[in-house]
């Protein structure tokens, strides 16, 4: 049975699932060692309407400096997202080090594995912030139709500190981790994505009519393992 409900709080000690569980060498990813815009050989940066058609996703929202990629969302809902050109694969392990500022609850940081051509709307949100800023959620979407077709859990996390979020996808199931602690498991074969997936990074805007405070998400690295 998949894990559900609220997981135990993690220590926030910066442990990595890759090290704790011996995932082996990094196959690919991004350490964000350049300066300026995200590396276009590694990322497709969004230039489009925002989540649910609200606000904008602009390439100018992204910057890379001092080993960190930063995406900023402004008071008008202009924010950003980008999808990886590397490691579109079926099965594997992904880990990302991420933090936010003391964000507006209307700005949601999201680390996603997806494929726009997935016939069953498959998506793995292995870290997704919400209007409850003290929690980080894991969502496995396994069919089209919204909340009736997902499994989820929530972990207390201070997202203003660096944490390592990971997902492990094998034929046996899908697991999620925060700082090397397992927080989610779903072993139902019917919930498995049927196509290869790739990494996306997004700071999504969910306006509610009230004023929006500018917010940021920062990513130290994205690493992919076999």
- Confidence (pLDDT) at 146: 84
Tens digit of each residue's pLDDT (9 = 90 or more) over 117-164: 999 999 999 999 999 999 999 999 999 988 899 999 999 999 999 999
- Confidence (pLDDT) at 126: 98
Judged on CB neighbours under 10 Å (0-12, 13-18, 19+), 187 is middle
- Confidence (pLDDT) at 13: 61
Tens digit of each residue's pLDDT (9 = 90 or more) over 176-187: 999 999 999 999
- Confidence (pLDDT) at 154: 97
Q: Which domains does the chain have, with CATH numbers?
A: 5-158+165-213+220-225 (2.60.120.200)
Q: Which residue has the tokens 């997981």?
A: 7
- Mean pLDDT, the chain cut into blocks of 10 residues (226 residues total): 39 81 97 97 97 96 98 98 97 98 98 94 97 97 92 97 98 97 97 97 97 98 97
Dihedral (C-alpha) 16, 19, 21, 24: value to the nearest 10 degrees? 130
Statement: the pTM of the whole predicted model exceeds 0.85: yes
């Amino acid at each position: 049975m998949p894990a559900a409900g609220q997981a135990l709080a993690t220590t926030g000690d910066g442990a990595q699932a890759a090290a704790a569980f011996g995932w082996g060498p990094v196959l690919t990813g991004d350490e964000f060692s350049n300066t300026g815009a995200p590396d276009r050989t590694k990322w497709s940066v969004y230039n489009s309407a925002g989540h649910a058609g609200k606000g904008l996703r602009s390439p100018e929202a992204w910057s890379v400096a001092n080993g960190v990629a930063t995406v900023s969302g402004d008071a008008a809902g202009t924010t950003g997202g980008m999808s990886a050109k590397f490691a579109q694969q079926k099965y594997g392990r992904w880990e990302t080090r991420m933090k936010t500022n003391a964000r507006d609850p209307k700005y949601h940081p999201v680390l996603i594995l997806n494929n726009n051509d997935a016939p069953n709307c498959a998506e793995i949100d292995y870290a997704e912030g919400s209007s409850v800023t003290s929690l980080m959620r894991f969502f496995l979407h396994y069919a089209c139709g919204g909340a009736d077709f997902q499994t989820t859990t929530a972990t207390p996390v201070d997202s203003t500190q660096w944490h390592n979020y990971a997902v492990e996808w094998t034929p046996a199931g899908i697991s999620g981790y925060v700082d090397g602690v397992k927080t989610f498991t779903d072993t139902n074969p019917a919930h498995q994505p049927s196509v290869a997936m790739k990494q996306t990074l997004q700071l999504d805007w969910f306006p509610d009519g009230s004023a929006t405070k500018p917010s940021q998400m920062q990513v130290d690295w994205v690493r992919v393992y076999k």
